[in-house]
Amino acid sequence: LWTVDDLTNLSTSYPHITQAAAKLKDNEVVAFPTETVYGLGANAFSDEAVRKIFEAKGRPSDNPLIVHIASQEQLDEFVEHIPEYAIALISHFWPGPLTLVLKKKGEQLSDLVTAGLDTVGVRMPAHPIALALLKEANVPVAAPSANRSGKPSPTQASHVYHDLHGRISGIIDGGSTGVGVESTVIDCTTKIPTILRPGGVTKEQMEEIVGEVHVDRALVEEGHAPKSPGMKYTHYAPNAPVIIVDGSHRFIQQQIDQYEKEGKKVGVLTTEEAENDYRATKVISCGNRSNLQTVAAKLYDVLRQFDQEDVDLIVSESFPQVGVGTAIMNRLLKAAGNQVILEK
Ligand code: TXA
Ligand code: MG
């Protein structure tokens, strides 16, 4: 575990970053903070290195990885054609929480990164440690979220440690990540860009730059195979089952009372506005509803906190699907296996 606590004076010669970069060059895997969640990085040009990511996470091999770069020039090494709108997205949102799926070029990238697809997801993270590490490693770095497959993504080094210690070569501890949900994945191989996974950059923000933006049908209707293979797996799940209850506080309390009457210990995921309104075994506040960014930032930590509590069931409030609320609800619905109770 390398702790980097002074983010103001980061240079690529910072010793921890040099050590971690050396591991990457050696085809080892290391975890590092990004502005979204912690990533588990490996040299994207090496099969040997990338295989270690899948092993450490227990990740299905048909789920491709995002390639992280520190400069736009690196794109030319493995990406074929970048449409006009993608160039506009890059110049507005990089570095930042936006992953572009582009046509892959050449044979340099490990096939394990792209899971055999002819496209590749790429992003430039907006975190000083990530950027310094990528620069120093001087190779594109494949990095999924640094959690065991199926668990909530890590937003603190301690989450990575909990899931992966003993299985990876190191963790750079840069404190809590800021955004809290993963990057938005947008398919840029279609005429109109298509969101495959909602995330830190919102549809509304992108529409301001490029006009029309589509949403993959699998995200809005049931019965369609997602174009982003990762979206088909159960994800972000704490140990106890999650149920979203969409309604008034009174209605939510009625559901809680019903479960508790059945002998179940209920945990409640709510926000500061309502945390004193509920009676349940454990009530945890996840940020402030009036600022959904704060909810995104805490969501995965709160889901993980319930694993430390003696609860049989987690009742979560619902959130409006605007701005980053779209990503929050996408993750909560996955954590809940789409179980929603709606007040009539
Ligand atoms: O914020 C993030 O994106 C974090 C940090 C570490 O950068 N990374 C992350 O990676 O969330 P991961 O592996 O947990 O999620 C990658 C998602 C998956 O849903 C995967 O299916 C999709 O991106 N993806 C990657 N390459 C793709 C491609 N070529 N076509 C379609 N989807 C792709
Ligand atoms: Mg992930």
Indicate which ligand has the atom closest to the C-alpha of 189. 1
Q: Higher model confidence: residue 8 or residue 260?
A: 260
Confidence check: pLDDT of 12 > 50: no
pLDDT range class, residue 2, cuts 50, 70, 90: confident
Give yes or no for a contact between 133 and 38, defined as CB atoms under 8 angstroms apart.
Answer: no
Residues flanking ion ligand 2, Cβ below 5 Å: 145
Give yes or no for a contact between 69 and 92, defined as CB atoms under 8 angstroms apart.
Answer: no
- CA nearest to 237, candidates 166, 322, 320, 339: 339
Confidence check: pLDDT of 1 > 90: no
pLDDT range class, residue 82, cuts 50, 70, 90: very high
Confidence (pLDDT) at 185: 98
Percentage, residues of the chain above pLDDT 70:
94
Indicate which ligand has the atom closest to the C-alpha of 182. 1
Quick: pLDDT tens for 277-304: 999 999 999 999 999 999 999 999 999 9
Shortest-distance Cα residue to atom 31 of ligand 1: 228
Confidence (pLDDT) at 237: 86
Indicate which ligand has the atom closest to the C-alpha of 155. 1
Shortest-distance Cα residue to atom 32 of ligand 1: 228
pLDDT range class, residue 15, cuts 50, 70, 90: confident
Quick: pLDDT tens for 222-243: 666 777 776 666 678 899 999 9
Confidence (pLDDT) at 80: 94
Mean pLDDT over 139-163 rounds to 96
Confidence (pLDDT) at 228: 72
Contact 169 CB / ligand 1 (< 6 Å): no
d(CA 101, CA 142): 14
Judging by beta carbons within 10 Å of its beta carbon (0-12, 13-18, 19+), is residue 88 exposed, middle or buried? middle
Average pLDDT, rounded, for the chain: 94
Cα-Cα end-to-end distance for the chain: 50
Residue 325: strand pairing partners: none
Spacing, Cα 247 to ligand 1 middle (Å) = 32
Spacing, Cα 164 to ligand 2 middle (Å) = 14
The label of the residue with tokens 């009742």 reads 315
Non-local CB neighbours of 154 within 8 Å, separated by 6+ positions: 31, 37, 38, 145, 146, 147, 160, 163, 300
The label of the residue with tokens 């840069």 reads 174
Contact 145 CB / ligand 1 (< 6 Å): yes
Confidence check: pLDDT of 16 > 90: no
pLDDT range class, residue 186, cuts 50, 70, 90: very high
Contact 72 CB / ligand 1 (< 6 Å): no
pLDDT range class, residue 8, cuts 50, 70, 90: low
Length reported for the chain: 344
**For ligand 1, mutation pick of 66, 151, 172 (most atoms within 8 Å of CB):** 66
Confidence check: pLDDT of 218 > 90: no
Contact 231 CB / ligand 1 (< 6 Å): yes
Indicate which ligand has the atom closest to the C-alpha of 183. 1
Quick: pLDDT tens for 90-124: 999 999 999 999 999 999 999 999 999 999 999 99
**For ligand 1, mutation pick of 228, 231, 233, 300 (most atoms within 8 Å of CB):** 228
The amino acid at 160: V
Contact 230 CB / ligand 1 (< 6 Å): yes
Spacing, Cα 184 to ligand 1 middle (Å) = 9
Percentage, residues of the chain above pLDDT 90:
88
Shortest-distance Cα residue to atom 3 of ligand 1: 183
- Tokens matching residue 141: 């770095």
CA 15 to chain CA centroid, Å, is: 27
